[in-house]
Amino acid sequence: MRQHGGVRQVFFAALTLAAFIFAASGPAEAIQRPSVVTPDTPYIEAVRKGDLDTIKAELTRGTRIDTRDKLGRPALVVAILFGERDVAHYLLEQGARPDLKDKTGNSALCYIAQSGNAVLGEALLKAGADPDRTCAERETPIIIAARAGHEALVDLLIEYKADLEASDLTGRTALSLARDRRHAGIVKALEMAGASY
């Protein structure tokens, strides 16, 4: 019995520590990097690693800026998935198309809506990203950001005239999701912007 009790205590201690770390971490600022990385072209490899010198050299040699990796993801999406913010900004400055989707149906703004990075979100929107272009689950970025509690990004999408009445496949809007999740600041912002449902 003692042995089982000791194992149980260790298990619960580990569980408590994990819960504490999760609670302390707050909203995610970065997207989890892909766990399986397939070798790719020098350009895509440089995007993944944040190697701006190689990226510039590859573009000078004629590599298209929106080249896709072997999984069908545009270079801009790759930069965001691998947490390479400087590369993402550089690609946008050089004319990368912000609305290209990967094979799952997500654009760069869809991933930003998940992560809550308002700085990159603004860069994408300034570069012409459509705030209402749907993502993989037929949700718009404002729905994703509202559900996740990313208030700064919701404010930004409101500023860029995102459709406040857009709904997901179950008929829920950004406002109804924010109410369900008790994101009071987002509820207030959406209501002040004219959202009614």
Residues 118 and 64 in one domain: no
CATH code (residue 112): 1.25.40.20
Residues 126 and 70 in one domain: no
Task: Please indicate, yes or no, if residue 75 is contained in any of the structural domains.
Answer: yes
Rama region for 76: left / alpha / beta (φ>0; ψ in -120 to 50; rest): alpha
* Chunked mean pLDDT (size 10), the chain, 197 residues: 47 38 37 74 97 98 97 96 96 98 97 96 97 95 97 98 96 96 97 92
Task: Please indicate, yes or no, if residue 178 is contained in any of the structural domains.
Answer: yes
Q: Which long-range contacts (CB under 8 A, 24 or more apart) does 44-50 make?
A: 44/69, 44/70, 44/75, 44/78, 47/75, 47/78, 47/79, 47/82, 47/84, 47/87, 47/91, 48/78, 48/79, 48/82, 48/84, 49/82, 49/84, 50/82, 50/84, 50/86, 50/87
Residues 143 and 64 in one domain: no
**Contact yes or no for 50/86 (Cβ under 8 A):** yes
The per-residue b/e assignment along 159-176, b for 16 or more CB within 10 angstroms, e otherwise, is: ebebebebbbeeebbbbb
Between CA 22 and CA 131 the distance in angstroms is 30
Question: Tens digit of pLDDT for each residue in 68-96?
Answer: 999 999 999 999 999 999 999 999 999 99
Residues 53 and 109 in one domain: no
Range of the domain at 61: 39-97
pTM metric for this prediction: 0.81
Residues 159 and 190 in one domain: yes
Task: Please indicate, yes or no, if residue 14 is contained in any of the structural domains.
Answer: no
Residues 109 and 187 in one domain: yes
Question: Tens digit of pLDDT for each residue in 9-35?
Answer: 434 344 333 333 333 333 334 466 676
**Contact yes or no for 43/53 (Cβ under 8 A):** no
State the pLDDT at residue 18. 38
